[in-house]
Chains A and B, each alone.
Chain A
Amino acid sequence: MKKPEISGNTIRVPSDQAFLPNVDDFLETALREYGADESVIADIAISVSELVNNAMMHGNKASPDKMVSVTVSLARKTATVTVDDEGYGFTPDTIQDPLADENLLKEVGRGIFIVRSLMDKVDINATDKGTSVSITKAI
């Protein structure tokens, strides 16, 4: 199996949830060094964990040969994090409303909703070569 790779402000991990803590450590260390407060760090960390979970499980279908890349950019008191997978595209419009009464007790289906709630901006770009999601948050 491939291993996590760090290059500059990017970490690449195989599509295995066991590597989620590697991504979180990388992200939180960068945010803390930049001086972000703990509440904002948690919001961004929660959001990135959602996106990496989606990239691993839905985008890359948990294939250990496919990697997920997370790039952290910190400038002008703003964090931008981009999560890229090597899957076959992702259609956010097909996600059910997690607040609907009939969905409230469903165990899954809240990830993107939570990301949109916590972040200032979310951009999703899905192609047949993979999905790239960028989130932005003032820090």
Chain B
Amino acid sequence: MKLTDQERDGIVILEPRGKIMGGPDASLLHDKLYECIESDKKRIVIDLARVDWMNSTGLGILISSFTTLRNNEGVLKLANVTDKIHSLLTITKLVTVFEAFDSVDEAIGSFK
């Protein structure tokens, strides 16, 4: 997995690419999210458009980020959730937890 990030209107957009399956790759996303939180950047969008798939480790990172942000008055939103990831969110009932948008622009707009 590779990870890039950008900031728009004070909102951090994280763009993981590839597969999130555990090990060092997964730590990359986890560490970046916590770096944002520690820098007081607490409005975060994860753009999943280029994630081929993730397993329960990836879901665990999303949950950890969601709860940590929520406990620190922050917000995590998802954008461009692929069919494969949406299917996982549905079977695990996590679709009821995360706020998801069809595009990054829509996710950013929802903060206003």
For B54, the closest partner residue in chain A by CB is: A46
A78 interface residue (CB < 8 Å to B): no
- The size bracket of the interface on B is 20 to 34
**Quick one: which of B19, B24, B57 contacts A24, CB cutoff 8 A?**
B19
CA distance A53 to B54 in the complex (A): 13
The digit string for A95-121, where 1 denotes a CB below 8 A from any CB of B, is 000110000111111110110010000
Asked if B53 and A42 make an inter-chain contact with CB atoms under 8 angstroms apart, the answer reads yes
CA distance A105 to B66 in the complex (A): 9
Prevailing SS type, chain B contact patch: helix
Return B10 CB to nearest CB of chain A, in Å.
Answer: 27
On chain A, the number of residues with a Cβ less than 8 Å from chain B's Cβ atoms is 26
**Quick one: which of B57, B61, B93 contacts A99, CB cutoff 8 A?**
B93
10 contacts between A and B (CB under 8 A): A17-B22, A17-B23, A49-B21, A50-B56, A99-B92, A104-B94, A105-B67, A108-B56, A113-B91, A114-B55
Residue numbers of B with Cβ under 8 A of A are: 19, 21-25, 52-57, 59-61, 63-64, 66-67, 84, 88, 91-94, 96-97
